[in-house]
Structure 1
């Protein structure tokens, strides 16, 4: 783990520390969750802090595995500073999408987890390494990264629209993809941005 690039390592360690800190008696981390704006519990810092909280061991493990797998590769190409900006832009995109959907649907439950940031990293990985082979767990069929992200995005959209798997923030995942995509467009000076940021 300590051979990981520094930002990826720090993000994983922070999520693990916060996960175990949440189980300490007398410590309440609800103020770090992303609450809907109309709930009365929303605070501005929650658009970033929610990404350090996880609901259980499998939630934490899968997110940290993805952060290690895709974040490490991207950080070696971009460097720590750009990796950090990209990750939190994806987290922010996920938060904004989730807040919009919650306001529209009247949802009152908070959102937690690094999944929005992870989906942004997936998008970044697919755009930088489109033909790199990925073997998903289900189905275990090798496919190029661009196809994997496209299929995953369409599945998330379908699950979100149909309300399948309640309790999973599907639109936050899509917001992470949008946040990552917009960040890459900005860096490249592509529409809707009109100048280069290379």
Structure 2
């Protein structure tokens, strides 16, 4: 079955792979805050998430989107009555996750960012919101999803302040926050009770 997640993955893979080893093409599509500010190239908020540094970067993001995206599509179908909200969610996550980077680096000509990590983080954290006690494998170590979420946010904040590794940790952090807020704000009357039920019924709770 052709899901929206799969469509996004196919498009992202095609654009990313064709841009590999073509710095000029990556420059045209990357999230380049300076060019956004100077030339109003706002499309970069979206296209920056369609290009990746290499196969490992692309593969990690797309595999994560594949594993989590299908479930979120189903949940959004139930919440909103239309899976098109998943596409809206993903595109907005790309944009929102890059806004802090734009503000921080808009005067820095040399700063550029690529990858769908911000939007993928949003998908993962939406999944955590609905299934906080699900088990996530982190480097083959099983971990509760909500624990992973807390550690991930803390790590993103720490690495953002530290810097120097070439990874846009701000996009990871704000994508994750958006992933929780999007369904929470739009359907708080449904999402809050679901989350409270889930959080108080982890395996063994009250037994």
Q: Which protein has the bigger helix share?
A: 2
Return the TM-score normalized by structure 2: 0.79
Matches within 5 A, 1:18-29: 18-23=15-20, 28-29=25-26
Structure ID, larger Rg: 2
Gaps of 5+ in 1: 191-198
1:52 match: 50
Matches within 5 A, 1:39-188: 40=38, 43-79=41-77, 80-103=83-106, 106=108, 108-137=110-139, 140-165=140-165, 167-188=166-187
- The alpha-carbon distance between structure 1 residues 158 and 61, as it changes in their structure 2 partners (threshold 3 A), is same
- The alpha-carbon distance between structure 1 residues 26 and 73, as it changes in their structure 2 partners (threshold 3 A), is closer
Q: Does the CA-based 8 Å contact 2:133-2:144 persist in structure 1?
A: yes
Q: Does the CA-based 8 Å contact 1:36-1:108 persist in structure 2?
A: no
Say whether 1:15 aligns with 2:47: no
Q: Does the CA-based 8 Å contact 1:98-1:175 persist in structure 2?
A: no
1:72, distance to aligned residue in structure 2 (A): 1.3
1:162, distance to aligned residue in structure 2 (A): 1.2
- The alpha-carbon distance between structure 1 residues 135 and 45, as it changes in their structure 2 partners (threshold 3 A), is same
d(CA) in 2 for partners of 1:147, 1:24: 38
SS of alignment partner, residue 55 of structure 1? coil
- The alpha-carbon distance between structure 1 residues 78 and 37, as it changes in their structure 2 partners (threshold 3 A), is same
Root-mean-square deviation (CA, aligned residues, Å) is: 2.4
Q: Does the CA-based 8 Å contact 2:135-2:143 persist in structure 1?
A: yes
Gaps of 5+ in 2: 78-82, 190-207
1:173, distance to aligned residue in structure 2 (A): 0.9
Q: Does the CA-based 8 Å contact 1:93-1:175 persist in structure 2?
A: yes
Aligned length in residues: 183
Match of 1:37 among 34, 51, 55: 34
Higher alpha-carbon deviation: 31-40 or 154-163: 31-40
d(CA) in 2 for partners of 1:120, 1:175: 8
d(CA) in 1 for partners of 2:167, 2:161: 12
1:196 match: none
